[in-house]
């Protein structure tokens, strides 16, 4: 068997992304984090094990070895949109992937992302930011009222 046939066969049998790929992030302040992502997109990490990139997984829970489950905020992007924007390896700057991970070398725009705002519910980032901001404001009002009654 020729080497090219062997590699072609290995690639054909390799894992393929589904409709979506997933990214887990740590955002201690969700509203602030969402504002940043809406403005700048998901920015490539500088120190990923494969170098700079935005790291995606094939399934949501597969990204948890980068972020603790209790701190994780999940994002997803449509695989086809990522390929259309960035291309795939070996194109210059193209998406690289192996059996475990997908690495995008550029910033992934906010309009290509959804956030899992509630378990199993995927929202666009603007809607999630609006809900998070409203929740934060109502919580601050409740805390202020509680403090007034305590005094």
CB atoms < 10 A from the CB of 145, how many? 10
- Please indicate, yes or no, if residue 136 is contained in any of the structural domains: yes
Domain count, the chain: 1
* 151: pLDDT strictly greater than 70: no
Is 9 inside a domain boundary? no
Whether the full predicted model's pTM is greater than 0.85, yes or no, is: no
Residue 30 maps to a domain: yes
Answer whether residue 7 is part of any domain: no
pLDDT confidence of residue 139: 59
CA 103 to chain centre: 11
**Average pLDDT, rounded, for the chain:** 84
**Residue 130 included in any domain:** yes
- The Cα–Cα gap between 15 and 17 comes to 7
| Structural domain boundaries, residue 100 | 15-142
CA distance 149 to 151: 6
Q: Does residue 63 sit within a domain?
A: yes
Domain presence at residue 3: no
Percentage of the chain modeled with pLDDT above 70: 81
> For residue 136, is pLDDT > 50?
yes
């Amino acid at each position: 068997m020729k080497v090219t046939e062997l590699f072609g066969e290995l690639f054909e049998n390799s894992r393929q992304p589904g409709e979506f790929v997933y990214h887990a992030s740590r955002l201690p302040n969700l509203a602030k984090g969402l504002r940043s992502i809406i403005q700048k997109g998901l920015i490539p990490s500088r120190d990923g094990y494969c170098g700079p990139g935005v790291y995606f997984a094939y399934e949501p829970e597969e990204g948890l070895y980068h972020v603790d489950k209790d701190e994780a905020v999940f994002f997803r992007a449509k695989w086809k949109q990522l390929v259309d924007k960035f291309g795939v390896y070996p194109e210059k700057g193209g998406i690289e992937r192996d059996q475990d991970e997908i690495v995008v070398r550029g910033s992934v725009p906010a309009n290509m992302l959804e956030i899992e705002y509630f378990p199993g519910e995927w929202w666009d980032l603007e809607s999630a930011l609006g809900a998070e901001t409203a929740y934060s404001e109502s919580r601050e009002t409740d805390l202020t009222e509680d403090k007034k009654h305590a005094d």
